[in-house]
Amino acid sequence: MLYPVYVHKGDDTHAHGAELPDFPGCFSAVDNWGDLPSAIQEAVEVYCEGEDMSLPEPSEIDDRDDGGMWIFVDIDLGKLDTRKQRINLSVPANALQEIDEYASAHGQNRSGFMVQASLQVARAS
């Protein structure tokens, strides 16, 4: 689906910065224009990761006068499944205790921590 993206053009010392108004607080930056679509897709995937949210409809572009420009980027919504699914895991009791202690100490719950840790390992390989 095509979403509006506001881009601040970079230069020799600054990256091109992209803002996605339909995903508040979602930004991306790249040095090369050709990398912009994939960086934006990745930023939206991270933004939606682990969130139980409805995806917004693309908004209209607004009138800005700060040197940037509007582009439209095709975001693959199929990669943004934000629905949570319940699963059943068998975990040794001592491991579960460690997981819960770590998650709690870092302001997370068990499920959020396990998803974040699993994705970090999966993406590293």
The answer to whether residues 65 and 100 belong to one domain is no
Residue 6 has a CB neighbour count (10 Å cut-off) of 18
- pTM of the entire predicted model: 0.64
The residues, any chain, with a CB within 8 Å of residue 64's CB and separated by 6 or more, are: 6
Same-domain status, 70 and 11: yes
Residues of the chain with pLDDT under 50: none
Q: Which domain holds residue 49?
A: 2-79
87 belongs to a structural domain: no
- pLDDT at residue 70, as a whole number: 95
* Predicted local distance difference test score (pLDDT) of residue 115: 84
pLDDT at 84: 73
- State how many domains the chain has: 2
CATH number of the domain to which 31 belongs: 3.30.160.250
Rounded distance between C-alpha atoms, residue 96 and residue 93, angstroms: 5
